[in-house]
Chains A and B, each alone.
Chain A
Amino acid sequence: MRLTRKQLVGGAAASVLAAGGIYRLVDELTEAPTRTASGSVRPEQHLLDGVRVVRDNGVEVLVPPLHHEVVTAKLRVGASPSELHDARQNLEAALTQLDERFAATPSGLGVTVAWGLPYFSEYVPAQAERYLPVDLRATAARGETVRVLEDAIRFPSDQDSTRLETNDLAVLLRSDSLDHIAEGAATLFDDHDALFRVTSIRKGFVGGASEGGPGLPKQMALAAGIQGAELIPDGAQLFLGFTSTQKAGLGPSKIANLETLGYADLGPSGYFAHGTHLHLSHLFEDLAAWYQVFDFQERLDTTFRPGLVASPETQTVAQGPKDVQDERHVRHDYERHRRIGHSGSVQPASRLARDVVGPDGTRYPKGTAVPQRADFNTLDNPFFWTSEPGRDAYAEAPSAGLHFVIFNPTSDDFRRTRLAMDGVLPGGRLTFETGSRGQGFNSVLSTTHRQNFLVPPRAHRSFPLAELSA
């Protein structure tokens, strides 16, 4: 017997926002991790307090919130200053209401509002021209002015059908409580229907196995009748069977802030200081191929690096600075094995090549991870709900996948990292045929949608730049 989301996703966005659908099952299958409840209101929107750290296989692992949801939308409001002023007030009031109701922690509710290029170019083009930070590194590399927010691109391993989206905004909601997420989504979107036209709702989960047992991904995939679900290892954090939130594999605290690594010129006002960049994409995962065609060693090679030695039950692999591959290692693997590992291949781009001291005096040693991932498994196909089912190739049958959510300092920084995953390294490209098993994860993944967003600091999260004169 298998489940579908049919009865839950047939209505309009308003009725779907609060619906948990198959994801209600998460609360039946696992208990929320023990957390500290309090959290401070940080200037950054994208940082959560109270994220617990556990040890697995001797490695420190962050325990992310169980439930995730992303809502994307286009704006219904006009672009006049008065309309934008009112819209800004309304949205900020709603966000403040949520701040007062919930701490920005997994046991409360993390709310991150991110804005796409269509918003900046259509609603505040003049202000954006002045205030959108310039990516100094990308500008130097390409010989033209490059902003920290660029349109998403299709990467070499993407299909031609990968849709590059044009949403005005995306809101990321994270919590151990589905009810908190539902309340957050309703507060922002149901109650402000005049401001937004919701274009998609994306839901999912991560983890749930830190206390033992088969783990959420396996149980959810089994319940949904996903091919290969039985082969997911018990206790796996994600469908693909390996832990991905090693503390050392994720960027520490403020490293993904626009201002931290000096990649961006924020201008004299520093309007976007404490902001960051968000890339949002959805990809399908072919679990049957992953578990039946790849054996454990090949999955290990593919996920991390060729030839990695680990016992067959291993799910968590150390990702500290001493475990990092540099470009020389990746090229050596390619020459010898015609393979690259996922983690290994991105590390030349995702880890610091030298020590960096941030503007607040924090020292980030060479080898430190820069991106902060907030990705989560999903059974959406490709979304929980979409305003345009035909365009998005929506289907009712559940499908294993990942809503990839990652914070990098700039669009270009994400681009460099993602290109490295395809073998496009700073020193030149490693050639792979499309879908090759040698190319890490790519042979079992297919990306359906992509978009980049700018995450303003909390102070400017609502209609950024709209309060400034054109």
Chain B
Amino acid sequence: MKRRIASVAIVVAIGAIAVVVGAAFGSWAWGADEESSSVATVEEVESPPVCARSQRVSWQKLANEIRAPVYCPSWLPSPLVGQFGGRFFNGRSVDPDRSYLVSFVWFERSLGIVNEVHVNLRGYPGTTRIPACEDTLTVAGKTVRTKIPCFSDKRGTKRIGGATVTVYTANQGADQWHVLYAWRRNGTLYTLSEHVAEPYGVEEVISHLDRMMRRLVLVPPSA
């Protein structure tokens, strides 16, 4: 289990209570059957997302290796930069079933507070089923292993960037503590997730995921 990140409260006047509550419910939502209304910059509206040349090579290699399209993120939450081998690159793995995981992370401990920005991109070529994870519980010397869904607690669906994504909030393995978007394309399940941790709460993570989804670039295999 990953460490829980301590929360830091921000002081505001008590008079703002009603405003705060209104904002908390009005500014975002788990899912809706319509295009996300998150605000994009003028530049994004005007220019389609582009996978930078320096990154495209790595994503292309991955697509070729798994013989299926992959998604290159043209935008990641600050301070992440989606450069394979860069300072925020946290690894790339491909399993025998051709499923892949690419991870970017920033981590900092300051004054006892842990800050982390962590994004995972996954693909499961040839299958649209939610994968199973092994829940291992060792008590009093006995280990019980149970198969559980890797992505759970579905919180609705929404249409973003041409995909219908399902939002999951209780996830396992590398996606534990993450809010995860999952979508299906041509018989393949893809996921995008971000860790809920300082400095970003659920609301900001949802906003990031929406923006990342809109800025994904499909990279098909070249061979």
Contacts and interface: CB of A to CB of B under 8 A. Distances in A.
A231 interface: yes
A291 B201 CA distance: 14
Contact of B169 (A219, A231, A339, A431): A231
B17 A295 contact: no
A223 B7 contact: no
Given A2-B12, A225-B10, A339-B137, A296 B152 contact: yes
A286 B4 CA distance: 9
B140 A292 contact: no
Contact of A223 (B5, B17, B171, B176): B17
A29 B14 contact: no
Interface residues of A, number: 53
A226 B7 contact: yes
B152 to A, nearest CB: 4
A356 interface: no
Interface stretch (B18-26, B37-45, B60-68): B18-26
A436 to B, nearest CB: 6
B140 A432 contact: yes
A338 B9 contact: no
B144 A292 contact: no
Contacts, number: 134
A22 B14 contact: yes
A227 interface: yes
Contact of A2 (B20, B149, B196): B20
Interface in B15-65: 16-21, 23-25
Interface stretch (A3-11, A90-98, A181-189, A262-270): A3-11
Given A222-B24, A296-B153, A288 B9 contact: no
For chain B, which range describes its interface: under 10, 10 to 19, 20 to 34, or 35 or more residues?
35 or more
Please classify the interface of chain B as helix (H, G, I), strand (E, B), loop, or mixed, using the class held by over half of its residues: mixed
A288 B4 contact: yes
B17 A3 contact: yes
Nearest to B28: A230
A288 B14 contact: no
B114 interface: no
Given A222-B24, A291-B169, A294-B170, A338 B144 contact: yes
A296 B7 contact: no
Contacts of A338: 137-140, 142-144
Given A223-B21, A223-B24, A1 B140 contact: no
A133 interface: no
A225 B9 contact: yes
A337 B144 CA distance: 6
Contacts of A4: 9, 11-12
A26 B205 CA distance: 28
B223 interface: no
A224 B10 CA distance: 9
B6 to A, nearest CB: 8
A90 to B, nearest CB: 34
Contacts of B14: 3, 7-8, 21-22, 24
Nearest to B141: A431
Interface in A205-225: 214, 219, 222-225
Contact of A291 (B8, B140, B170): B170
B147 to A, nearest CB: 12
B17 A22 contact: yes
A397 B113 CA distance: 15
A1 B20 contact: yes
B81 interface: no
A337 B142 CA distance: 10
Nearest to B177: A292
A295 B170 contact: yes
Contacts of B143: 338
B111 interface: no
Given A225-B10, A293-B170, A231 B202 contact: yes
Contact of A293 (B8, B17, B19, B176): B176
Contact of A292 (B8, B12, B137, B176): B176
Contacts of B13: 7
Nearest to B19: A1
B12 A1 contact: yes
A294 B176 CA distance: 10
Nearest to B1: A293
A433 B202 contact: no
B148 interface: yes
Contacts of A222: 20-21, 24-25
A240 to B, nearest CB: 14
Contacts of A431: 139-140
B67 to A, nearest CB: 32
A2 B202 contact: no
A124 B138 CA distance: 50
B203 interface: yes
Contacts of A223: 17, 20-21, 24
Given A2-B20, A337-B144, 7 more contacts: A1-B12, A22-B17, A291-B169, A291-B170, A312-B154, A339-B144, A397-B9
Interface of A: 1-4, 6-8, 21-22, 24-25, 28-29, 214, 219, 222-231, 286, 288-289, 291-298, 312, 334, 336-339, 396-398, 430-433, 436-439
Interface of B: 1, 4-5, 7-14, 16-21, 23-25, 137-140, 142-144, 146, 148-149, 152-154, 169-171, 176-178, 196, 201-203
20 contacts: A1-B23, A4-B12, A25-B21, A28-B17, A225-B7, A225-B9, A231-B153, A231-B169, A288-B5, A294-B170, A295-B149, A295-B170, A296-B152, A296-B153, A338-B137, A338-B138, A338-B144, A397-B8, A436-B139, A439-B139
Nearest first, the 4 closest Cβ-Cβ pairs linking A and B are A295-B152, A295-B170, A397-B9, A431-B140
